[in-house]
């Protein structure tokens, strides 16, 4: 929530209120990327509309309101399901509804608000399915399942697996409430309803699926192994009150906590209830499928769309909790209607107590359990057993009904509190202060410069700051990040990884190439007033950037200085076509930047060259032959260890250092003239760090390498100097034939260009995608890709009107399928209506 979702919600606010084109595409996503998949996964909940009623700075409070509403709606939907399915409106309904709303999955995932809509809709979808099986209307099933697929296709996939498993298992066991012939008819009705729901949601599902093919599926782990991920008995630990902590978020067992009453009644359903044998067999088979899914890797992989989850494992476990609560309520109804089967009840209690005893004996294996919570588990277990016993004696009784409600609500509330106390949270002000100051600064820039450009920052709250700040940036953290963007950023020396890129290590060349026209730099706060020191806490340094000395200081406030980059290229410019066809990528970001420069300006030569250094001095480390790939070895293990070098800095020259991906900032600290070289770590590839620049005179800097480990590998450490004279000449030449944008939004750029020679191309830094459509003088042109990242178009000599328009790939076929489905529904309704009157 703090690192990703809140920034997406800021984008949601700005898009719907100011620029709806952001639903399709956004230049705030990395260097630019498809947003349709992002919206379909993160932002389609109807409750998000509440965000529009408040300013972005109030988002944390708005999210709290939405979260509380989702808890309430989850309980309400389950209560509605029970009332309609079982025709019961007594206090136990509220107790079971509260259990569902506060189940362990909800507590563990309350910050993943985008998933909680699934818990709201699941009871309604299942109610619709049961209506079909009983010969009722298909409407509720279609409406609720369609809503789920549109709101969050990921959780919709999991619910679809559950529905399919239910139909197959219960159908095979002949456990449907009608005859075999009716069952076949109902199965066809279910298939029809499922197909219609898929068709109605095709407008969002098809483009989203295509988007995933170029993003998440390219880098997510999907290792298929026939193995158990853990001992299935470990699941039992999650049925104890408060059985949850922060360590369970990245790789724990499934969060399936429900009230003790539910656990006992769930067992009783199999051992004591008067349900038909085929129903029990079907229920047991489905339960076994759930349990295996939560520990057997192939099934776990299948539930998650063949992509192993990163953090928050077993995201489908809310369905198992739903199944347990529903089954337990059936058992409760059986006791009320038919009385209790004491022998079966005794067996159920023995099974539950043996499980609790097992947890007590092997408690050390469950690090999230403690004695206090374990004892509370016994307390609620005994109280629950007592109520069920009295219920077996007295059946329907107002006092017992109230006791069920208070007991279940009390136990779930205690688990809620105990679990939350094990999670840490961010301060509200960390976001609100940051959003306020950055949006104000960006707004001031936009008032004076309404052209197209990108912005960089030397500070950061998250990788999605551009979405909160409402500017075109170069960083993003999203499951729908295009793999080409991640690869390109890594190739030019920017930190990158699975689902994220961070434009934190720009050189003069990449700043220019990527249209980084403005940079925001945090100002140091020097004050004797302790109260004002807090001003800097939300502007955390991201990178050291001496190159700002080459840019123009345009404005500043108490916290931020704004610099303008005079070398920034427009997003489109004319280059010779020949050089763009070479797509081989060197395994060194400096070499690659040299190559990109030659592609744009074939006669430029190399902008970067190896720099000299001298006067190496060692302190408690053995001498090394060179920097690159040497190993720093300590002489005395406990003593301070470092060595220094002197780097001569020529005037009008910038200097950079490459650092290998395996260098840890915990083992190696680099100081430049005594100041810490701040860089974001880690990264999948080699990164480039800006260490110095000089404007109008020569000087020397001292670079110190300080190690805390016994041995540190200086992986890919080299120092380079940058020829600013060549660079200035190149940018001046490229700016002579710009793509002059007259009108633009996030999915359309419309402008003109004047080409002065033949065999040229309009070269852009718009990330290449098949979704981009280009017209030149109203004639369609097929865009091509250069640098395995950006698009360009060959263009003839002369003055041209050029328009770039983005439409998500698959959107129009999806809309067509949805339209045809609507026609099918309308035709079917008309024919049935006509048949009825005939």
**Would you state the pLDDT for residue 262?**
98
**Would you state the pLDDT for residue 174?**
85
Indicate the DSSP class of residue 635: S
Using DSSP, state whether 209 is helix, strand or coil.
Answer: helix
Closest CA to 598 of 571, 581, 579: 579
Strand 772-776 to 798-806 pairing: antiparallel
Q: d(Cα 172, Cα 734) in Å, to the nearest integer?
A: 70
| Cβ–Cβ under 8 Å, residues 304 and 315 | yes
What torsion do the CA atoms of 499, 503, 507, 510 make, to the nearest 10 degrees?
70
State both tokens at 12: 């949601």
User: What pTM was computed for the model?
Assistant: 0.94
State both tokens at 473: 């940036």
**Would you state the pLDDT for residue 440?**
96
**Which strands sit side by side in the sheet containing 476-477, from one edge to the other?**
476-477, 500-501, 496-497
Q: d(Cα 111, Cα 115) in Å, to the nearest integer?
A: 9
Q: d(Cα 490, Cα 502) in Å, to the nearest integer?
A: 9
**Would you state the pLDDT for residue 376?**
96
Q: Which residue has the tokens 């406030």?
A: 557
Q: d(Cα 323, Cα 162) in Å, to the nearest integer?
A: 10
φ, ψ (nearest 5 deg) of residue 437: -75, -40
**Would you state the pLDDT for residue 177?**
66
**Would you state the pLDDT for residue 528?**
52
The interaxial angle of helices 153-172 and 317-338, nearest 10 deg, is: 40
Mean pLDDT, the chain, integer? 93
Q: Which residue has the tokens 């023995």?
A: 350
Using DSSP, state whether 806 is helix, strand or coil.
Answer: strand
**Would you state the pLDDT for residue 533?**
46
Closest CA to 539 of 521, 563, 555: 521
Q: Which residues of the chain have pLDDT under 70?
A: 177-182, 217-222, 525-538, 838
Please count the residues of the chain: 838
State both tokens at 663: 């260098």
Q: d(Cα 776, Cα 751) in Å, to the nearest integer?
A: 10
**Would you state the pLDDT for residue 780?**
97
pLDDT per residue as tens digits for the range 468-516: 999 999 999 998 999 999 999 999 999 998 899 999 999 999 999 999 9
Question: Could you give the count of Cα atoms lying within 13 Å of 599 in the half-sphere of its Cβ?
Answer: 24
């Amino acid at each position: 929530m703090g690192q990703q979702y809140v920034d997406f919600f800021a984008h949601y606010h700005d898009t719907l209120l100011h620029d709806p084109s952001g639903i399709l595409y956004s230049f705030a996503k990395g260097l630019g990327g498809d947003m349709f998949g992002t919206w379909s996964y993160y932002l389609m909940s109807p409750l998000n509309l509440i965000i529009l009623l408040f300013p972005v700075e109030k988002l944390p409070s708005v999210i709290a309101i939405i979260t509380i509403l989702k808890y309430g709606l989850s309980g309400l939907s389950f209560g509605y399901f029970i009332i309609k399915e079982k025709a019961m409106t007594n206090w136990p309904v509220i107790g079971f509804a509260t259990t569902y709303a506060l189940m362990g999955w909800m507590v563990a995932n309350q910050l993943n608000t985008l998933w909680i809509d699934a818990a709201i809709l699941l009871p309604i979808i299942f109610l619709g399915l049961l209506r079909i099986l009983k010969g009722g209307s298909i409407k509720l099933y279609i409406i609720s399942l369609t809503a789920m697929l549109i709101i969050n296709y990921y959780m919709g996939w999991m619910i679809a697996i559950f529905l399919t498993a239910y139909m197959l298992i219960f159908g095979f066991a002949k456990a449907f409430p009608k005859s075999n012939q009716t069952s076949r008819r109902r199965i066809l009705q279910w298939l029809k309803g499922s197909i219609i729901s898929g068709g109605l949601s095709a407008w969002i599902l098809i483009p989203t699926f295509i988007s995933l093919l170029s993003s998440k599926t390219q880098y997510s782990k999907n290792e298929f192994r026939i193995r158990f991920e853990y001992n299935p008995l470990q699941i039992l630990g999650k049925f104890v009150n408060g059985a949850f902590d922060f360590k369970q978020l990245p790789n724990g067992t499934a969060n399936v906590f429900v009230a003790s009453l539910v656990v006992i009644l769930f067992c009783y359903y199999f051992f004591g209830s008067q349900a038909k044998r085929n129903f029990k067999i079907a229920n047991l088979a489905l339960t076994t499928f759930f349990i295996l899914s939560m520990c057997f890797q192939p099934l776990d992989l299948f539930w998650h769309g063949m992509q192993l989850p990163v953090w928050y494992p077993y995201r489908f476990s809310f369905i198992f909790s739903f199944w347990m609560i529903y089954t337990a309520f059936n058992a409760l109804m059986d006791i009320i209607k038919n009385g209790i089967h004491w022998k079966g009840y005794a067996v159920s209690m023995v099974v539950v107590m043996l499980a609790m005893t097992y947890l007590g004996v092997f408690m050390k294996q469950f690090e999230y359990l403690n004695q206090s919570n374990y004892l509370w588990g016994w307390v609620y277990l005994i109280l629950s057993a007592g109520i069920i016993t009295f219920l077996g004696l007295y059946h329907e009784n107002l006092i017992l009904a109230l006791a069920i409600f208070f007991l279940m609500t009390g136990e779930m509330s205690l688990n809620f509190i105990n679990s939350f106390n094990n999670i840490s949270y961010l301060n509200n002000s960390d976001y609100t202060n940051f959003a306020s100051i950055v949006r104000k600064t960006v707004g001031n820039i936009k008032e004076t410069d309404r052209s197209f450009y990108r912005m960089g920052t030397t500070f950061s709250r998250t990788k999605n700051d551009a979405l909160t700040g409402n500017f075109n940036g170069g960083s993003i953290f999203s499951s729908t990040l295009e793999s080409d963007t991640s690869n390109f950023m890594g190739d030019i020396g920017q930190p990158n990884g699975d689902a994220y890129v961070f434009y934190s290590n720009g050189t003069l060349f990449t700043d220019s190439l990527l249209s980084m026209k403005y940079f925001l730099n945090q100002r140091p706060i020097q004050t004797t007033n302790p109260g004002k020191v807090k001003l800097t806490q939300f502007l955390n340094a991201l990178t050291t950037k001496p190159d700002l000395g080459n840019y123009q200081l345009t404005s500043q406030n108490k916290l931020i200085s704004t610099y303008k980059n005079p070398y920034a290229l427009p997003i489109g410019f004319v280059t010779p076509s020949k050089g763009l066809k070479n797509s081989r990528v060197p395994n060194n970001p400096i070499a690659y930047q040299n190559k990109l420069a030659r592609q744009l300006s074939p006669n430029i030569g190399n902008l970067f060259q190896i720099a000299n250094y001298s006067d190496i001095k060692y302190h408690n480390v053995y001498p090394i032959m060179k920097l690159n790939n040497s190993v720093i070895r300590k002489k005395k293990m406990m003593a301070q260890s470092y060595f220094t070098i002197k780097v001569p800095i020529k005037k009008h020259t910038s200097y950079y250092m490459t650092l290998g991906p395996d260098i840890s900032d915990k083992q190696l600290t680099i100081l430049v003239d005594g100041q810490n070289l701040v860089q974001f770590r880690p990264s999948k590839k080699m990164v480039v760090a800006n260490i110095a620049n000089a404007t109008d005179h020569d000087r020397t800097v001292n670079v110190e390498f300080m190690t805390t480990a016994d041995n540190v590998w200086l992986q890919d450490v080299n120092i380079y100097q940058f020829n600013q004279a060549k660079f200035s000449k190149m940018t001046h030449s490229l700016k002579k034939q710009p793509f002059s944008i007259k009108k633009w939004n996030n999915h359309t750029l419309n402008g003109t260009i004047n080409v002065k020679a033949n065999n040229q191309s309009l070269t852009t830094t718009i990330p290449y995608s098949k979704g981009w459509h280009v017209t030149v003088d109203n004639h369609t042109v097929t865009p091509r890709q250069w640098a395995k990242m950006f698009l360009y178009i060959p263009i003839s000599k002369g003055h041209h009107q050029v328009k770039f328009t983005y439409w998500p790939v698959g959107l129009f076929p999806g809309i067509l399928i949805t339209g045809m489905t609507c026609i099918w529904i309308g035709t079917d309704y008309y024919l049935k209506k006509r048949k009825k009157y005939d």
